[in-house]
């Protein structure tokens, strides 16, 4: 989670960092991982996006 920690630090300092978590509709695990990361983040906004084929 080091990369996300760096993003969190930058976002906390006022930087606007859009972060999109793109997952395949057929991969429920990928969506759940994104949801877990979303819950762990305090400042950074993680956008969960279903991949459109």
pLDDT in tens, 18-46: 999 999 999 999 999 999 989 988 899 99
Instruction: Tell me the mean pLDDT in the region 2-20.
Output: 91
Q: Please give the torsion angle defined by the CA atoms of residues 31, 10, 17 and 43, in that order, rounded to the nearest 10 degrees.
A: 50
Q: Are 51 and 25 in contact (CB under 8 A)?
A: yes
Q: What is the pLDDT of residue 52?
A: 87
Burial pattern 13-39, b for ≥16 Cβ within 10 A else e, equals eeeeeeeeeebeeeeeebbeebeebee
Domains identified in the chain, total number: 1
Q: Which residues span the domain enclosing 38?
A: 2-11+20-50
- Total-model pTM: 0.78
Q: What is the pLDDT of residue 1?
A: 58
Separation CA 37–CA 25 (nearest Å): 18
> Is 80 exceeded by the pLDDT of residue 53?
no
């Amino acid at each position: 989670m080091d990369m996300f920690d760096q993003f969190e630090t930058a976002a906390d300092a006022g930087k606007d960092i859009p972060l999109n978590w793109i997952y395949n509709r057929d991969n429920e695990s990928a969506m759940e991982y994104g949801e877990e990361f979303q819950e762990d983040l305090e400042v950074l906004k993680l956008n969960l996006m279903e991949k459109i084929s």
